[in-house]
A and B are shown apart, each in its own frame.
Chain A
């Protein structure tokens, strides 16, 4: 029940396209859903996060869509750029407890 299932495992998108990464969870106590971006050899960086009281949050080219009834949330990267090539992790936690991470998605944006 603590799992967060992330898909796809890897993704190739053309420059300028939309990258979409999906996550699903079972634990209805989860109430904080962040996305992290990690470049090789670096620590994860908090990209954007959402709480279940809203269905969408947008920051620049990054948007989180949240579907509480389906227990799913997704990251959309608009106008994807080669510099967005990285590994993306979704995560979730109940209250102020520990984060549960997805397995990650390796995104490659081709020039």
Chain B
């Protein structure tokens, strides 16, 4: 149980284009989902917290107009990187918090974004 999926697992896009990443909790409901960014050999950096049906809360320094987050259902959140630039290339990981039990937080497998 407690599986979080992400799609795509990797994507290459051209500078100036937009790319959407999907995050799904497959076997539990998640009122709250999180989006992280991770650089090589570094820890996870929280970008934003999204609650189902409401606007995401962005961490300081994260451009909300660049990283659009939508959490339309209890099992799906999306991150859209708009007008991507090479500096947006990174490993993006979503996480979902299980509504039931102890509110454990589970992570997806990550999406490797490369902007050329």
Contacts and interface: CB of A to CB of B under 8 A. Distances in A.
Contacts of A106: 41
B43 A99 contact: no
Contact of B46 (A45, A51, A89, A98): A98
In order of increasing CB-CB distance, the 3 nearest A-B pairs are A43-B107, A43-B110, A43-B109
Contacts of A32: 102-103
Interface in B83-116: 91, 93, 97, 102-110, 112
Contact of A98 (B2, B4, B34, B41): B34
A89 B41 CA distance: 12
Nearest to B110: A43
B103 A44 contact: no
A96 B103 CA distance: 7
What is the size category of the interface that chain B forms with chain A? 20 to 34
A101 B44 contact: yes
Interface string B7-18: 000000000000
Interface of A: 32, 34, 36, 41-46, 49, 51, 89, 96, 98-99, 101-104, 106
Contacts of A101: 43-44
B44 A41 contact: no
A101 B108 CA distance: 16
Contacts of A98: 34, 46, 49
Say whether chain A's binding surface is mostly helix, strand, loop, or mixed. Answer: loop
A34 B91 CA distance: 22
A41 B112 contact: yes
A96 B107 contact: no
Contacts of A44: 44, 93, 107
A101 B34 CA distance: 14
Contacts of A103: 42-43
Contact of A104 (B2, B43, B103, B110): B43
A49 B104 contact: yes
B105 A46 contact: yes
Given A43-B107, A99-B105, 13 more contacts: A32-B102, A32-B103, A34-B104, A43-B93, A44-B44, A44-B93, A44-B107, A45-B107, A49-B104, A96-B103, A98-B46, A103-B42, A106-B41
